[in-house]
Amino acid sequence: MKTALITGGAKGIGLAISQELMRDGWNVVITGRDAQAIDAAVAGLTTGTGKAVGKVMDVRDRASIDAVLAEVRKEFDSLDSLINCAGVIIRDESEVLSEADWETVIDTDLSGVFRCSQAAFADLEKTKGATIVNVGSIAGSVGIAGRAGYTAAKAGLEGLTRTLGLEWADRDIRVNAVAPGWTRTEMVAGGIKDGRLSEAALTSRIPQKRLAEPHEIATVVKFLMSADSSYITGQTITVDGGITINGNT
Give me the torsion for CA of 92, 85, 130, 161, rounded to 10°. -10
Q: Tens digit of pLDDT for each residue in 132-165? A: 999 999 999 998 888 899 999 999 999 999 999 9
Distance of CA 156 to the CA centre of its chain: 14
Please confirm, yes or no, whether 150 is among the known catalytic residues.
Answer: yes
Q: What is the pLDDT of residue 247?
A: 62
**Is the pLDDT score of 244 beyond 90?**
yes
d(CA 175, CA 136): 13
Tens of pLDDT, residues 185-243: 888 888 888 888 889 988 999 999 999 999 999 999 999 999 999 999 999 999 999 99
Is residue 151 classed as helix, strand or coil in its secondary structure?
A: helix
| Rounded distance between C-alpha atoms, residue 152 and residue 142, angstroms | 10
Question: In terms of C-beta density within 10 A (0-12 exposed, 13-18 middle, 19 or more buried), how is residue 231 classed?
Answer: exposed
Q: Which residues pair with 238 in a beta bridge?
A: 179
Angle between helices 214-225 and 12-23 (to 10 degrees): 50
Buried b (16+ CB within 10 A) or exposed e, 127-159: beebbbbbbbbbbbbbeeeebbbbbbbbbbbbe
pLDDT at res. 231: 98
**26-61: per-residue pLDDT in tens?**
999 999 999 999 999 999 997 778 899 999 999 999
Torsion of CA 89, 93, 94, 97, to 10 degrees: -60
Beta carbons within 8 Å of 157's beta carbon, 6+ residues apart: 109, 110, 113, 134, 136, 140, 177
3-28: pLDDT as tens digits: 999 999 999 999 999 999 999 999 99
Q: Kindly state the average pLDDT of the residues 83-103.
A: 94
CATH number of the domain located at residue range(s) 3-183+213-239 in this protein: 3.40.50.720
Q: Which long-range contacts (CB under 8 A, 24 or more apart) does 98-103 make?
A: 101/149, 102/148, 102/149
| pTM metric for this prediction | 0.95
CA 226 – CA 129 distance, rounded (Å) = 9
Q: Name which residue leads in pLDDT, 71 or 185.
A: 71
Q: Quick count: other Cβ atoms within 10 Å of Cβ 204?
A: 10
Q: Between the CA of residue 68 and those of 6, 32, 127, 155, 157, what are the distances in Å? A: 12, 11, 18, 28, 23
Encoded amino acid at 37, one letter: A
Confidence class for position 248, pLDDT limits 50, 70, 90: low
| Domain positions in the chain | 3-183+213-239
Give, as one character, the DSSP assignment of residue 181: -
**Catalytic-role residue among 150, 158, 174, 185:** 150
